[in-house]
Chains A and B, each alone.
Chain A
């Protein structure tokens, strides 16, 4: 039988089954926390750090990723403080400067309130969110792709760079990849990247605290959409 715990997210009392993470619990209750690497029913690695929240313990708040934080009785979580919004905006800015060539990433940047990008754009194809690796490993148990290299050299590849037989070309890795959704105005050429911000009208307020099944969420593969 499922055991339930009670916690407090942004002042709302939330009931969630033991073993779920704070991010899923919040989405379930319609509290919007932007996220990228989290996919429902896959393990969480906490790579993109966009889903950071403040976890208040003994009066001191600690910034941590909500996807890897399991719910506990009496937990107090704040998802929409000034500090969190600032950190999230900075992270989204790093992300969109790295890989602007995707509607998902542009939507995240918009959702997190990025107004300008202060770094030179790089047109990278992969943001190393690890969705594809985990889908391949956990859902299909194929382990046909994985992370190779460390730090700047880290990339997703087949073992030894050769497509193994146990890759059935199911295409699930492509399906969950946030980089396969081109920007609305078509792919950007190197040197011509820009911050889109065209969907600004889609946002309810400046930074919505509640989930309204927004079009942006559909773009960046929000757990609310993928989960149903």
Chain B
């Protein structure tokens, strides 16, 4: 590829690419995201490619290995354009049929279509599926258009159009004003107004300024940053270029955790391709603007997602936060002004420049504009990545998009925002996905994790899980986080094991409040949220653990016993054979009995019993 020296050359390249693609009649898009790869999409890709070659369709049919489509539960996903035909759970054996029937004859293969688990109805196109219907996919919908490893795809799809605009027509002040007017807020969790951050960084004098893309996503159950970065790395790069132009930065870093090998690989390829085309490097598109990006890999510490710890890690120091009384926009990486934004924030930027701030602000609420990608997991039918307009209620996300409970149990709570967020009960489901609304309710959007819980989830156990995670991931620098979380975990463990006392609940609240006010960094300050929010909304459950020594959800092992209901037991012996501890005795066709002394409460017998005879009391 030749270096582009002006805007015109970029436009010419785009025209040339579009002309080349006019001969293509059909596009087969196979998801190559991490989620689908684990469902063996690589074999599907190979099979489809082989099939296309053997049918001699190389010239007219394009096979596009795309990033994540969001509906990871149904993977591997194949979409065929034109027609927007959506196939799910595709196996390599289906490749022949797809190519022969759908690509060549235009017929739809009924059995590969998505079947609605509620009504049993099959949907032909992506847009008809309820999961997609209720979404507003501004960022994620672009994933399906491009092969993440191909800059040509991105340019042909209209990419890098924002770059000429900011380099040619807009001053840095204009760009910052536009971002400010759009009302974009940081998508990484804090929700800090991006425009204000940029303005402060722009106004601070510095020898060299930096922009950083924070792709160190570590919340349990959240993976939207990974999907955007591995599915459309050029979008993030373009956003960073706009940001660099605005604040006057000449160097950028993408800090991506090494546990995301595909994101590391794709973003590396993207940076190399952009360099080759002269979109990164010195004198970009013939202007005086110079900017380069480097990929920094993180070692997988949760705390390195905190901005100052992340910068310390890039500098080669121990990834520990430092006090932020002086903001990083003034004193950041290598003590220079630094703008750090989340992957999703950067990905939102090019569209704001292209379509204007009023377009962006057309979706959303008063305080939160635009869309937010949520990662919907837990006990719902449809799990995956969901992009909704800010202001959509949690109920819509869980029941309309998520399809409601996965196994018929009653849904009772949703945990938003990962370890920094909180649990909201069913009667708060009308709250909107909005930075301020959720913060007021004691939770937060955070990075966008949304874990749905049903009545078989013990809220005390959930709090314990998150505390264990936070205790493992605390850097240990400051006292309230290191010791405070440890003490909270000690108390919660006491409660789940039946040693709890009522006055410990007040102590938990007071300790949580102390940690949230005094900890050094944002992670410590939000760490008590899971406990505080469950205490606020599910206090009776804590009290049941303490007063009655009973776990209502039947989860906390120390407080439950397994027994076999003699009326239901048929003496089939399945439980007896499944018990690895030898705790079940009984003769064939007679009622079996569990020896509570030997029982380890693993629950295998309960899941094996076909007659629901094993009960938790």
Chain A: residues with CB nearer than 8 A to chain B? 45-50, 52, 63-65, 68-70, 83, 86-87, 90-91, 94-95, 97-98, 118-120, 127-128, 147, 149-154
Distance between B206 CB and nearest chain A CB, rounded to angstroms: 18
Inside 8 A of B517's CB, which chain A residues have their CB?
52, 63, 83, 87
Task: Tell me the complex Cα distance, A143–B89, Å.
Answer: 57
Contact A46 B478 (CB under 8 A): yes
Cross-chain contact of B325 among A69, A83, A151, A154 (Cβ < 8 A): A69
Contact B482 A95 (CB under 8 A): no
Contact B482 A49 (CB under 8 A): no
Per-position 1/0 for B475-504, Cβ under 8 A of A: 111111011101100100000000000000
Per-position 1/0 for B88-125, Cβ under 8 A of A: 00000000000000000000000000000000000000
Contact B486 A152 (CB under 8 A): yes
Contact B479 A48 (CB under 8 A): yes
Cross-chain contact of B487 among A48, A50, A119, A149 (Cβ < 8 A): A119
Task: Tell me the complex Cα distance, A91–B520, Å.
Answer: 13
Q: Who on chain B is nearest to A88 by CB?
A: B518
Question: Looking at B318, B476, B479, B486, which has the most chain A CB atoms within 10 Å of its CB?
Answer: B479
Cross-chain contact of B490 among A47, A119, A149, A154 (Cβ < 8 A): A119
Inside 8 A of A127's CB, which chain B residues have their CB?
479
B residues 292-348 touching A (CB-CB < 8 Å): 301, 303, 318, 322-323, 325-326
Chain B: residues with CB nearer than 8 A to chain A? 301, 303, 318, 322-323, 325-326, 471-480, 482-484, 486-487, 490, 507, 510-511, 514, 517-520
Interface majority SS on A: helix, strand, loop or mixed? mixed
Inside 8 A of A95's CB, which chain B residues have their CB?
479, 483
Contact B507 A47 (CB under 8 A): no
Inside 8 A of A83's CB, which chain B residues have their CB?
517
Contact B476 A91 (CB under 8 A): no
14 pairs, CB–CB < 8 Å, chain A vs chain B: A46-B322, A46-B478, A48-B479, A49-B518, A64-B323, A68-B323, A69-B325, A86-B514, A87-B517, A91-B479, A91-B480, A94-B479, A120-B490, A152-B471
Task: Tell me the complex Cα distance, A93–B490, Å.
Answer: 15
Distance between A154 CB and nearest chain B CB, rounded to angstroms: 3
Inside 8 A of A52's CB, which chain B residues have their CB?
517-518
Inside 8 A of A64's CB, which chain B residues have their CB?
323, 325
Task: Tell me the complex Cα distance, A64–B484, Å.
Answer: 17
Contact A151 B323 (CB under 8 A): no
Contact A151 B480 (CB under 8 A): no
Inside 8 A of B479's CB, which chain A residues have their CB?
47-50, 91, 94-95, 127-128
Task: Tell me the complex Cα distance, A149–B475, Å.
Answer: 8
Distance between B298 CB and nearest chain A CB, rounded to angstroms: 14
Question: Looking at A45, A94, A149, which has the most chain B CB atoms within 10 Å of its CB?
Answer: A94
Cross-chain contact of A49 among B303, B475, B476, B478 (Cβ < 8 A): B478
Given A65-B323, A70-B326, A94-B487, decide whether A151 and B520 contact each other with a Cβ distance below 8 A: no
Q: Who on chain A is nearest to B476 by CB?
A: A154
Given A47-B479, A150-B475, A151-B482, decide whether A91 and B318 contact each other with a Cβ distance below 8 A: no
Inside 8 A of A150's CB, which chain B residues have their CB?
301, 303, 473-476
Q: Who on chain B is nearest to A36 by CB?
A: B479
The 7 tightest CB contacts between A and B, nearest first, are: A154-B476, A68-B323, A90-B514, A151-B474, A151-B476, A46-B323, A63-B517
Contact B518 A68 (CB under 8 A): no
Contact A94 B471 (CB under 8 A): no
Inside 8 A of B474's CB, which chain A residues have their CB?
150-152
Inside 8 A of A68's CB, which chain B residues have their CB?
322-323, 325
Inside 8 A of B518's CB, which chain A residues have their CB?
49, 52, 63, 87, 91
Q: Who on chain B is nearest to A68 by CB?
A: B323
Contact A152 B490 (CB under 8 A): no
Q: Who on chain B is nearest to A155 by CB?
A: B476
Given A68-B325, A87-B518, A128-B476, decide whether A154 and B482 contact each other with a Cβ distance below 8 A: yes
Contact B514 A152 (CB under 8 A): no
Task: Tell me the complex Cα distance, A200–B475, Å.
Answer: 35
Question: Looking at A68, A90, A153, which has the most chain B CB atoms within 10 Å of its CB?
Answer: A90
Inside 8 A of B325's CB, which chain A residues have their CB?
64, 68-70
With A70-B326, A95-B483, A119-B490 given, can you name 13 additional A-B contacts, CB distance below 8 Å?
Answer: A46-B323, A47-B520, A49-B478, A49-B518, A52-B518, A68-B322, A90-B514, A149-B476, A151-B473, A151-B475, A152-B471, A152-B482, A154-B477
Q: Who on chain A is nearest to B321 by CB?
A: A46
Given A65-B323, A90-B514, decide whether A47 and B477 contact each other with a Cβ distance below 8 A: yes
